[in-house]
Every structure is written in structure tokens, then in C-alpha cells.
Copies of this chain bind each other. A is one copy, B any other.
Amino acid sequence: MNKIKIGILGATGYTGLELVKILQHHPFAEIAFLSSQSYANQKFSDVFPSLKNICDDTLIEPEKTYSINVDCVFSCLPHGTSASLLIPFIEKKIKVIDLSADFRIKNTEEYQKWYKVQHPCPQFLNKSVFGLCEHYRNEISNADIIANPGCYATSIMLPLLPLFKDKSVKISFVISDSKSGVSGAGRSLKLTSHFVEAHENFSAYSIGHTHRHIAEIEQELSKAAQKKITITFCPHLIPTNRGILSTIYLIGINKTAEECFNILENSYKEEPFIRLRKGSDLPTTAGVVNTNYCDIAFACGSNKEEVICVSAIDNLIKGASGQAIQNMNIMFGFTETTGLK
């Protein structure tokens, strides 16, 4: 079988690194190019010495990638830049999987409000599919453009979407208290990711209605519920490299924790990457790190109308590159778990 040829734009961040690592073990895909503006002409293994002898490809400048023959392009570039650099591939009908937010928000005004830039190619927005595999599998299989979901958003939508899709469930308030390892802030240097500042520390940030992932979460929950849903979302920084744990409070809910569990069990019973946990067997970040799993559990709150949900994912895998490969597998007709188990 001929392997499909993969290009990766912005390959030298942590999501690029994960894509390259997963693709080393993928039997049906191979890397055709890795691009980077700042590290162009260096070997990938010079940037990431752990990949010496594993991936020694030379990084090329983005503009040199357009002439290379590929079947699928992943973009790990920042929003704004990402969609711009993907345009030529989209126009050539090459399948693209965008790990940035550029194709996630269907409403361009919402996009501009949250991301503070004009959308570079709104004409392609309605061709793009929100790549939450467990919920849009059919659309993904026919899509040319995948908007790979955000990491926090994935950890929140996977447990909540089956509840919001279920017409018998009523919920008054949704609060997600989410915690992420430092790799979620990327590889670029900033004081909050400086070792001495983050280590032996734990902090909240962007609290209130300010974090950009709110846009996609509210879009998808509202779509599922067929009415406007708002969410209170508080992200926190954990002194770990990887992992997201979201503790989600459903207030004024007319179901018990057990009923919520049953709805998810029913919805996800065939899903290879969702694991429901019960009782004291709660999700932990260590339990999912380096995997494409999303672990989920429910418990009752102190009041009748309160249900607590805990979900955990690896922010770089199920929250980014693993989910991106899962999308690729669906798009190209490979078994969905290929390269991911």
C-alpha cells in the first residue's frame, strides 16, 4: 500500500513534535515536509535532540513547501498565520488539518471578537468541519478542511456534548474549572512558563469570560442543545509538562451523576478513546498522558441539583496531535486507531 504523504507547517512547537512522533509509527503515512520559519535549514533532530536517528529531516521555509507533493497538510502555526499559509493547499484541494483556532469559529465576527484579527479566508469557513471525532465522524470523513479542536475545549466538550444533545437533560449553569500542564502554553519563551516561576506554583489565569476557548465551547454546546449556552471557564496552570484535568460543575441539573454516566456510556459505548470511570477510580492526568484517551467520571455534588464531572486528556495528544491524526485516519479511510494505540 502506498503511504500518504504528509506536510507539517510550524513543526517545531510541541504539537509538531507530537505529530512527528506519532507519524513514525503510522503504517500508512509518511512525512514529506516539515516546515519552520525560524529553524529553516536545521535538522528536526537538532531542534529536538531526542529524535536523533529517528527524524533527521531538514526543516524548510514555509514558502518552499507549496511545490512539494503531499496528500495532507497539518498546520501547527498560530491563529491568523495558520489559515493564511494554508490557503494555497486548500486551493489545490489538498486536505488540511488546522490545529490553530482559525477554522473552529463559524461566525467571523465571533472569531474577530475573540482572536482580535480579521479572518484570512472566510470563504473557506463553511467547508471546514469541527474535528471532534466522536461527534462529527461522518462530516470528517468527507471534509477537506478540519478545524482541530482546542485542548481545553476537547476536555470539556467530550463529557458535555452527550448531555446537551439529550433533550431530557436540563442544566442551568455550567462551570469548568480546568487545569493544564505548561506545554499547553507552547514552546515560545514567556515568564509564566519560566521554570522558576511555574515550578512549586499553581495559579489561575484568564478567569472570567476571557479565555478564547470559550468561543468554540459555547458554539458547540449551543449547537448540541439548539439554544444559546454560556459557560464559566477558569483555566489554571499545573506544574507538570502535560495533561489537562477539567472539573466541571453542572448546576441546576435534573439528572443524577449516575444518570449522566449512563447517558455517556450509551453514547460512547463503541468509542475506542473514551474511558468512563466509576466511584473512587477518578480520572488523573498521569492516567492519560502519552495516550489518546479521554477519561471521564461523574459524582454528585452536595445539593440535589448538582453533578460534578471530571475529565482528563493529554493536552498534546487527545487535545491536539493525537486527535489530528485520528481526524486524518477518518478522512483517509484508515482504521481510526491506527498509530494511536
Contact = CB atoms under 8 A, between A and B. Distances in A.
Q: Which of A193, A207, A208, A238 has the most CB of B within 10 A?
A: A207
Copies of this protein, total: 4
A303 B230 contact: yes
B49 A281 contact: yes
B284 A203 contact: yes
A198 interface: yes
Contact of A289 (B175, B191, B200, B288): B200
A231 interface: yes
A285 to B, nearest CB: 5
Given A207-B308, A232-B249, A301-B208, A200 B53 contact: no
A196 B193 CA distance: 8
A197 B232 contact: no
Contacts of A139: none
A316 to B, nearest CB: 10
Nearest to A284: B203
Contacts of A251: 173, 175, 251
B203 A179 contact: no
Given A200-B241, A284-B202, A191 B189 contact: yes
Interface string A168-195: 0000010101010111000101110111
B199 A282 contact: no
A191 B48 CA distance: 12
A297 to B, nearest CB: 8
A239 interface: yes
B202 A285 contact: yes
B50 A301 contact: no
A245 B202 CA distance: 7
B187 A194 contact: yes
A50 B277 CA distance: 11
Contacts of A238: 202, 238-239
A234 B208 CA distance: 20
A286 B230 CA distance: 32
A232 B193 contact: no
A119 interface: no
B230 A275 contact: no
Interface string A280-319: 1111111111110001000111110010101000000000
Interface of A: 14, 49-50, 52-53, 173, 175, 177, 179, 181-183, 187, 189-191, 193-205, 207-209, 214, 230-234, 236, 238-243, 245, 247, 249, 251, 257, 275, 277, 280-291, 295, 299-303, 306, 308, 310
20 contacts: A14-B196, A49-B284, A173-B306, A175-B251, A177-B177, A195-B195, A196-B241, A200-B242, A201-B285, A201-B286, A203-B285, A204-B283, A208-B301, A208-B308, A232-B302, A232-B303, A232-B308, A236-B245, A238-B238, A251-B251
